Structure 1
Amino acid sequence: MKKAILVGCGAEIGANLLIQNDPAKDGFAIQTVVTNPPSLDKHYPDLRPIDGIIARLAMAQPGMQSRIEIISDNTLNIEGREVHFFFGNLAEELPPQSGRFDIGFIATSKLDMDRNSPVARNMLELADVVLGVAEANELPSIYGCLEDLTSDEIGTIQRRVVDSGMYCLGSCQTNGMHASLRVVTEALKAVHCNASHIISVETDIVHPDTPNGVLGTRSFEGRMQDARDNLRPSFSQIAMSQEKVMPWAPLVNTVSLRAPVHAPGYQINRFIVRDSGALSLDLIKTAIERVSETHPHVVRASQTPLGSRAYAWERRCSTILSDKNHLLILRPAWLAEQNLSEIIVQSFVNNTVGYSAVVRSVARSVALGLPVATFQGIEK
């Protein structure tokens, strides 16, 4: 059994990794968590930082608090797993521990996704393989939705067993696009093509306005939690990964909105492919089914376009709407005369529960010594 350490235990990624970790299936156990102590509240003087951790877990998955037992001021029993907490800043101090960890997760800030950041330097002192849950140009990447592919499908892939070093796993937005890319690549194989036949990608995103630092973290007062009333423009990290994965296919991200909604978000990916008119909706639907069968954490089709709440607790990156109104192939004359087609894939992308499932899958492959698809970092 591999030992894992987690730095950052917010109510989104860190908490969900703790909830989902199943050592018997994953081959690793998160044994230690380093996180800043949750804020206390003058109205609840008897509550401690460890109670704030329970609040985060409960807000990440309602009902979780009934499956957690407090052992001490810094230890929880989470569904039979003992997890130790060190309340501090990893950038400034190391937790007391014996021996090294096999895997370390950084679930803090994008600023920490740099080998020279204090958090990364200290984490590399603690763990053999460090996995950052964000996007970073300079770091090599492991993209969970593409991890089973080889250079035959995407030429930039370097398939290897990872037993040391620091990697970024991409953002939730990145992985959402990759889930659609995984399906399109699978469909292209059926017509004897690969990702090199993808000419360009355009992505539009409506991202839930996840309340960083508020949801179950700022206060125990219910009135202080979950205030989502701020529709605002945002930007995407997808283009950062595109240079690593498909540098020949420009990616345009024209719409990226933060919306006052709960996870999952909504994503539209438009692929221009050189298929000579060979692709069909049936081939794409079959591709979704094949990927879903082997990698259920990546994608699944839905013929019933329900609202996002219907998919909120799915441990899956992407749910593609496969009905005739949402999954489309367009061949206007100006594309057809160039042997090109436009494939429009619309999906719900889960930036909390589903994203954590992808992170868990990558860590499982690392723990079990399985080869994964890696991508080189980009020197700026």
Structure 2
Amino acid sequence: MQTAGHFDLQTLWFVLIAVLWMGFFLLDGFDFGVGMLYPFLGRDDPERHALLATILPVWDSYEVWVIVAGGATFAAFPGWYASMFSGFYLVFFAILVALIVRGVAIEYRNKHDDPAWRRRWDIAMPISSAAIPFLLGVVFAAITRGVPMDARGDVSGGQGVLFSGYSVLTGFALVAAFALHGALFLAIRTEDGLETRARRTALALWPVAAVLLIAFTVWTAVQASSSAPYPVPVYVLLGLGLPAAAASGPLAWLRRPLAAFAGTSAATVLLVAALFARLYPRVMVSSTSGSPSLTIYGTASNHYSLVAMTIIAAVFVPVVLVYQIWALWVFRARLSRADFARPPTPLHMITRERGTRRGDASSGGAPAGGGE
């Protein structure tokens, strides 16, 4: 018989894993968007360099979230980890390859001046940046909607069971949402022509993202009404997330990209939370009659392991959060083509805003850049 403390720790770790995935989608989401868009928004190499530099100093720190999410799943719910990764190993391998290609593209694109070298990475980067959210959307939609499972809790039917109409829609909705998220991020991190182009791109992407997110929201709500153990939280989260995403278009049109970016950020967190709320207390839903779904109770580690993990998380999660906030603050200066006609060092990117402010003061407050 399970104690209340054991139950609380199981629920706590389910929530913590959900938070880790929310953090990953929120932070790496706009990185994916930048990766999808920068070869098309940049008209020449200095512009593409400037666009890529908006994420260059910090992109790898955001992947800590997905690494920790995978590790936490393995440690807290080994039964969930084993069933999911063994059942969907080809899809997860494809995600891993895309993550590697994307990381190498970010770091290696500007290591060589050869135009052909840079052009190859400019092709690889958008493909890998779109593939990751699409495949993750497919996986999350599948495990919440249901996949064929046998009596032992193993996925049956091969990798193709992941690709239902709902999961494919979720994948495309994530790709469109992250492209919009990335365009708004570029609108607040660039200036002059780059800022204008990023804002116009966000306005063009907004209707596409809106249609896909509305379809995803309606479909999820309909399924939750008949299959979710606790449908009310799902409705609330979906009901808050969709308006947050919808507001980003009008705010971008009103030249308020920071507020629009806050809207897509809130929508990302809320819609991912809705998927986990639909799942709880299950961790994988079985669509096979007679085969039970996997739950947090049946797949969790022992009580001692969960206690030890909770202590470790209480120490290190705040450290990671503080570091992420610090990194975003340090690398907040707007960038433009002029900054990369002669590529700057990371130190220049940090101190640029300070120098700009001094220039403003010495010229009587006249703007030195081309921001809003």
Q: Same fold (TM over 0.5)?
A: no
> Larger Cα Rg: Structure 1 or Structure 2?
2
When you count helix as a share of all residues, which structure comes out higher? 2
Q: Which has the higher contact order (CA 8 A, sep 6+)?
A: 2
Q: TM-score, normalised by structure 1?
A: 0.29
When you count strand as a share of all residues, which structure comes out higher? 1
Q: TM-score, normalised by structure 2?
A: 0.29
